[in-house]
């Protein structure tokens, strides 16, 4: 297995979902997944604000990434296609400094 491929990551998350029968036990319910992602963002925030080691931050970001891939599985969309479509879109955007930090968004006047 090529661990550098997106397909390998997708297959691993699918195997995790299958192992625990997420589809039939509520694990793929989207509002539940949003709550799990919010929880992971809180853990990522705690790592940053409390100065925890990089390894802990990496673990929490990986948890969020796994949840994101799993959400694509649960919602039945191609995350790879969504990623590249969004990258194409945001590469066309201008940036602005907002409160001393760069922001790349759809700015509406």
| Cα 66 from Cα 60, distance rounded (Å) | 10
- Residue indicated by tokens 């509520």: 26
Residue 80 and residue 88 in contact, taking contact as beta carbons nearer than 8 Å: no
Would you state the pLDDT for residue 27? 96
Question: What CATH number is attached to the domain comprising 29?
Answer: 1.10.287
Q: What pTM did the predictor assign?
A: 0.88
| Cα 85 from Cα 83, distance rounded (Å) | 6
Q: Is residue 96 part of a domain?
A: no
- Higher-confidence residue of 3 and 84: namely 84
Mean of pLDDT over the chain: 95
Q: Is residue 22 part of a domain?
A: yes
Would you state the pLDDT for residue 106? 85
Would you state the pLDDT for residue 4? 86
Q: Is residue 40 part of a domain?
A: yes
Question: How confident is the model over 20-49, as pLDDT tens digits?
Answer: 999 999 999 999 999 999 999 999 999 999
Question: How confident is the model over 72-83, as pLDDT tens digits?
Answer: 999 999 999 999
Q: Give the 3-state secondary structure of 86-101.
A: HHHHHCCCCEEEECCE
Nearest to 15 by CA among 34, 30, 1, 31: 1
Q: Is residue 92 part of a domain?
A: no
Q: How confident is the model at residue 3 (pLDDT cuts 50, 70, 90)?
A: confident
Number of domains present in the structure of the chain: 1
């Amino acid at each position: 297995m090529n661990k550098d491929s997106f397909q390998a990551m997708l297959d691993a998350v699918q195997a995790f979902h299958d192992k625990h029968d997420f589809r039939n036990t509520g694990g793929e319910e989207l509002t539940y997944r949003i709550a799990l992602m919010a929880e992971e963002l809180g853990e990522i925030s705690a790592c940053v604000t409390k100065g925890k080691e990089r390894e802990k931050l990496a673990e929490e970001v990986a948890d969020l990434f796994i949840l994101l891939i799993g959400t694509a599985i649960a919602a039945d969309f191609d995350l790879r296609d969504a990623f590249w479509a969004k990258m194409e879109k945001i590469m066309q955007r201008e940036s602005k400094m907002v409160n001393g930090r760069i922001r790349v968004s759809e700015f509406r006047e």
